Amino acid sequence: MKITPYKIKKGIRYFRHYGPKAFWNRLRDKMEPEEVAYQPWFEKYRASQEELESQRRQGRKFTCRPLLSVVVPCYQTPEKYLLEMLDSVREQSYENWELCLMDATPSETVAEAVRRYCSEHRETRIHCHRLEKNLGIAGNTNQGLAVAAGSWIGFLDHDDLLAPEAFYEVVALINQDSEVEVIYSDEDQVEETRQGLKHQNPHFKPEFSPDLLCSNNYITHFLCVKDSVVKQAGGFREDFDGAQDYDFILRCTELARKTGHVAKVLYHWRVHSNSTADNPLSKTYAYEAGRRAVQEHLERTGKKGRVSQLPHFGFYRVKYEVEGEPLVSILIPSKDQSGMLRRCVESIRKSTYRNYEIIVVENNSTEPETFAYYQELQDRQHARVVVWEKGFNYSSINNFGASHAQGSYFILLNNDVEILTQDWIEELLGNCQRPEVGIVGARLYYPDNTVQHAGIVVGIDGIAANMFPGLRRGQEGYYHKAALQLNYSAVTAACMMVSREAFEKVRGLEEKLAVAFNDVDFCLRVRKAGYLVVYDPFVEAYHYESKTRGAEDTQEKVRRFGEEIEFFRTRWIELLKEGDPCYNPNFSLKKCNYALKP
């Protein structure tokens, strides 16, 4: 990271707002070198002239060739930025578009620059509408919606840029999936340098993630919405100025049959001293509007919860209310190591939620102190021990424990876990009671206060892997993802809540997977059954699993591990080929930290 006077000034602002601890964690994040430098990566993967020419030809053959109306509210736009924005639209490889410029500038400078530009380039698809009054960004954008003639509407800021293939990729997805009614893309930031525009800070996004959208407006740009959905949503609301796009996106995704994602950088957000991209502290009023937007989204969709701002501006936490006081069954497989089990149980007993039962599933213990502790447990409230007499099979043991459970919700918990969050059951339960959610997982740390688990991505290392292993506690990773509630394809069963309904619907864990990948397979089957899997970082625990687990070093272990890998790959071969929808295909499958692929 190059140190400049302006970055020093930004750092001072950050320090004053967030304090020394958060400042230091952020500085360490910033000082870590990129594993793959983005600027050359961008140059390597950007569309070539040959590809753009091919797109022009293909675009004329699309079965569906909608008119795409792009709305741009303008206000005192610097001419250089304005002309570069116009160039980026005019150079699009898909040709059936119109640009609706809604100019609220008091003088004629913007309108005159647009007239000269259109005359010079003989461009008839660009329409500049002078507004008699500046109605604010929401009101000015609504004026654009009123004059837009297209069946799809795109949104562009007056000083930003589009990749030349942006419209083509959007229309290609429309042709590929007729149910899609909202589309968004990946994006990056661009900054003027002596060497020209520098591309930086790429934001590669997952497929639609409703929990992530309630944590942060990750969709932002490039946004295109079907005209019928725009009309049904009612456009932008002026009382959400500053977060009008967030509020609009929430309402549109509620209404759309399907929200689609183009996993390519189609939008370039310009960074300069007055832009929000460079200085989030410049629009503090916007973040309260964003909080209200999420709160109203919950109310419209019938969810009970309280939205609060997280320390980093523009990021939120939703704490869902627990309805009633259902019984929660905590299933703990156990073999010897009574001290470890005691630590786990004592951490549970500190819970603020009281209506739970602990079911310890005994599996071939031999140590006398273990059985003495079992007797002690059963003499106390909330706990009992059931005995699994066959050999170790993690899936079978948990299924056996569930058959003895009386609760409406199960928590699968390893005996080497120590809960740190006293209201952890309420936190998991508030999410798991949502009808669309089947499984909720937690943020786990090694004893040295580095992350052990912050969600699981399928496909990394050929099968699946935990995200952010080794990340220091307090650091938040790529776009704060270790510290945000979001959707993953899987979470670890070392600490996982699942509704009885979802558990029984998929008939529990797969008993052919005795040791490896049973929790990943379980999550994938729950997702396939129509439920969401949620990663909730606000439930924290230590997982005393060794960082260097014993190798699969015996012939029997190696054989078993190979068979379980083959079983998993056979069952989920299509997913492994297509890629995890909760991860972006531009990320490496050799790293667990959202690093770019080479």
- Specify the pLDDT at position 357: 97
User: What is the reported pLDDT for 5?
Assistant: 58
pLDDT at 380: 82
Q: Which two tokens stand for residue 101?
A: 């410029």
Class of domain 44-306: alpha beta
C-alpha 370/C-alpha 378 separation (Å) is 13
Positive/negative CA dihedral, 333, 336, 341, 342: positive
Question: What are the pLDDT digits (tens) for 400-427?
Answer: 999 999 999 999 999 999 999 999 999 9
C-alpha distance from residue 391 to each of 115, 365, 397, 510, 514 (Å) = 80, 11, 9, 16, 10
260 vs 253: CA distance, rounded Å: 10
Topology of the domain comprising 328-578: Spore Coat Polysaccharide Biosynthesis Protein SpsA; Chain A (3.90.550)
- Counting as low any pLDDT under 50, the low residues of the chain are 26, 28-32, 547-550
pLDDT at position 244 is 96
Residue 423: its pLDDT value, please?
98
Rounded Cα distance, 52 and 346, in Å: 63
Per-residue model confidence (pLDDT) at position 29 = 47
pTM of the model: 0.91
Query: 41-66 pLDDT, tens per residue?
Result: 999 999 999 999 999 999 999 999 99
pLDDT at 8: 67
d(CA 280, CA 278): 6
